[in-house]
Structure 1
Amino acid sequence: MKPVQWLCALVALNFVWVTDLFVLGRGFERLGEPGGLLTAVGRLTGLYGALALVVQLVLVARLPWLETRLGMDRLTAWHRWTGFWVLWLVLAHLVFVTLGYAAQDGSHVLGELDTLVFDTEDVGLATIAAVLLVVVGVTSARGARRRMRYESWHAVHLLVYLAVLLGFLHQVGLGEDFTSSPAGRLYWWALYGCALGAVATSRVGLPVLRNLRHRLRVVSVVRESPDVVTIWVGGRDLHRLPARAGQFFLWRFGRRWWEAHPFSLSAMPDGRFLRITVKALGDGSAWLQYVRPGTRVFAEGPYGAFTGARATRRAVLLVAGGVGVTPIRALMEEFAHARADIVVVYRAGAPQEVVLADELRTIARRCGARLHLVVGPRGAPGLQGLSTLVPDARHRDVYVCGPPGMTGAVRDTLRRLGVPDDQVHTERFAFAA
């Protein structure tokens, strides 16, 4: 089974377990009473919301087994999609339970809501958790997200962990799976424990351990153009760091340690140095233009499935757009070491936007690769242009990295050229944007 199938099967199995525990706990026992159906639906949506929240935590835990096979961009997209399901299920839980209790007590809905929130033990905690989830959901909407700095959005997003804690306390205090079912109690403790343990291990423990071991620092800074620099990072025992060409790290530099920036490696790791090439596109990357040698570095990763491990053929086509050439340059170096048949198409809007062209030419001469620099005001290489440059594209694994618009256009072109989707590999490195 593929990783996606394993993940879907695991989620489905837990969905069945949650439903089974609800039924065994006599969740449908009171259907004949006033408000019984509404209350049952409310309880069930609350349990499904809790399960979706656990799934969301696992997706963002950055577990190496999942992340290196599925890619951070895909896991992040699923995490976002699951988050909205969490929000709707929690709100449905609140609405149906309130309606059910109001029907049971014969009271007004607003009065019943007031009683539940302010006079019922542990429901106040759940209300705070629901409010926090709403805040996180609203700020995660695309329109709101574009108007916020990443650091501000990330700080708000951390409220999810507080919501998880408050929701769990609510479930422990009032959930019948806890109060009346030893099996349910064991299941939910194990489920929350595994999810939070995965987050603590992969998001905190592993990065701290690796940085204590490797003690990364900036070794040198090389200016490639007026707005592009290459930063060399050194440390101890870097040969023990499981990084590959095409992957990226979340980088934190010196006195601005709280700012994490996803930059892909621009050279194949050699066990001595890690190298990134950064273009000034925002406040953080602009500041890195002036970082000094000796600056302490904290790197979280490596992340990404955009690696040579996905190749199924000896022949490869590497397509880069703008600063997306950085992982493509690293992959070109790795494929050159593997003596692959390499074609590189590098698209830039203007001559001053071309980055690392001399290095690409050097690697191409050394391994006999074909390098095409396509410079001009147009967007991605068109159908006719790409078919002319690489007439055997359908017989190659294709790696594409660049702006989203270009990446989408190249994928459409490759599809029209008959290249199977499983031979086309892409990944969004700026997943936080």
Structure 2
Amino acid sequence: MTTVRQPPVATRPGVRPSVVGRTGLYAVLLANAVVVAVFFAQAGFASNALIVLGRLTGLYAALLMAFQLLLVARLPWFDRRIGMDRLTSWHRWTGFSVLWLLLSHAVFIVFGYARSSSLDPVNQLVDLAETVEGVLRAIVALAIILVVGAVSARYARRRLAYETWHFIHLYTYVAVVLAFTHQVAAGTTFASSPAATAYWYGVWGVALTSVCAGRLVLPLWRNLRHRLRVTAVVPESDDVVSVYITGRDLDRLPARAGQFFLWRFLTKDRWWQANPFSLSAAPDGRTLRLTAKRAGDGSAALRHLKVGTRVFAEGPYGAFTTLHRTRPDAVLIAGGVGVTPIRALLEELHGHAVVIYRVSTDRDAVLHDELRDLALARGAELHLVTGPPVPDRLAPRELARLVPDIADRDVYLCGPPPMMNAVLGSLRELGVPGPQTHFERFSLAG
């Protein structure tokens, strides 16, 4: 349907928030890499080149390990600008870099010391573990990281339940502690000067404090403050349900349309399970709403929640918000239950919007009536696109027909991965600049 067009709204000039966030992280990493190199040079070089390389790879593995903790600390400033999906992806690839650096560190050190002794590499490793304080702890830490790396490989990750993978992944914190104690006990550079010692204590202190603050203290404080409870459970269709939640001082909860929470409903059988669900309505300071499709035991159990059930929510998370607007007008493209953050964004967006909702059949169009009424109230266009995946109903030609000026608009996209990949390809063909394309992948849930 076509409605009255609203006047365009000016967007904020200046550097994009995502660029600020990424630049901040890169600058922190680069500055610390330089500092590590300086302290390493000041400590002096061993006569054996293999030992030199071993020490250097060990130091950079320690630095990247601390950086990994920062990436998953869920600090609001970084999360709002970069997004948990991208931070989690960077954490994953940084983890593989740490793994290769640690393996290189172990090989260089063992073969370096073996060159200076009459021992073969295996006996040299045993000798180091028996005679050098902290080496045995380092071997255990490396073994843990090898196991975590194996279960994080794409082949294994797809075959593990998220809870199983997450439980194994938590042992990384044990490896971090063991690696740090090894560095304290055996690190030549660590003890080379008071400044180097203070620096490394500072690096690990900031990393661990960030994790503790972002993943423990802040969620506990917010939940104690807001005391969330279920107020209503409304079936939207046979396999989709909306849950309404209220609490105290929700006007002070820094949630925005397009974001999501990790929800724990404190029932006897589900209190331990956290699921990421987007807000399906813009926060109004009084109520939060999520809408979920049955896709597993956790989402299926939502239909049976009782009014008054206590809720523990971690968040809000995500960069899929109007903070990243670059153009006065927008296109909102939703697929299936991916309509939930799109529907919330439509409430908050200013300027003219075109909403494209892609489903297989009319019956699959969850929240369509709400979208229709909201589009009418806000002067937006709404297009319901139905049909099988093939032929592609959102191919470049179809998108250009529905939105002729799409290259001059911000595009917000949320839906199943195959549909999102296809639409992203269409947008590239239509010449939509990358900074105008906004999407988020919920990789946390696997």
Q: TM-score, normalised by structure 2?
A: 0.93
The residue number in structure 1 matching 2:314 is 300
Asked if 1:365 corresponds to 2:376, the answer is: yes
Relative contact order, CA 8 A, sep 6+: which one is greater? 2
| 1:119 Cα offset (Å) | 4.0
Alignment deviations for residues 206-251 of structure 1 (CA, whole Å, 9 cap, x no partner): 0000000000011100000111000001000000000000000111
Aligned residue runs from structure 1 range 10-409, under 5 A: 10-26=28-44, 28=45, 30-31=46-47, 36-255=48-267, 256-335=270-349, 338=350, 340-378=351-389, 379=392, 381-409=394-422
Q: Partners of 1:392 and 1:247 in 2: how far apart? A: 27
| 1:54 Cα offset (Å) | 0.5
| 1:318 Cα offset (Å) | 0.2
Alignment deviations for residues 269-322 of structure 1 (CA, whole Å, 9 cap, x no partner): 000010000101112111222212111100000011100111122211000011
Q: Partners of 1:363 and 1:176 in 2: how far apart? A: 64
Alignment deviations for residues 62-108 of structure 1 (CA, whole Å, 9 cap, x no partner): 11111100111110100000000011111111111000011111211
CA contact (8 A) 2:355 2:382 kept: yes
The residue number in structure 1 matching 2:431 is 418
Q: Which structure 1 segments of 5+ residues have no match?
A: none
Q: Partners of 1:350 and 1:136 in 2: how far apart? A: 42
Q: Partners of 1:206 and 1:432 in 2: how far apart? A: 21
CA contact (8 A) 1:217 1:297 kept: yes
| 1:431 Cα offset (Å) | 2.7
Query: One-letter code of the match for 1:398?
Result: V
CA contact (8 A) 2:85 2:440 kept: yes
CA contact (8 A) 1:264 1:429 kept: no
CA contact (8 A) 1:394 1:420 kept: yes
Cα RMSD for the two superposed structures: 1.2
**% of aligned pairs identical?**
55
Q: Which structure 2 segments of 5+ residues have no match?
A: 1-18
Q: Partners of 1:289 and 1:117 in 2: how far apart? A: 55
Q: Partners of 1:107 and 1:309 in 2: how far apart? A: 61
Query: One-letter code of the match for 1:372?
Result: H
| 1:334 Cα offset (Å) | 1.1
| 1:110 Cα offset (Å) | 1.1
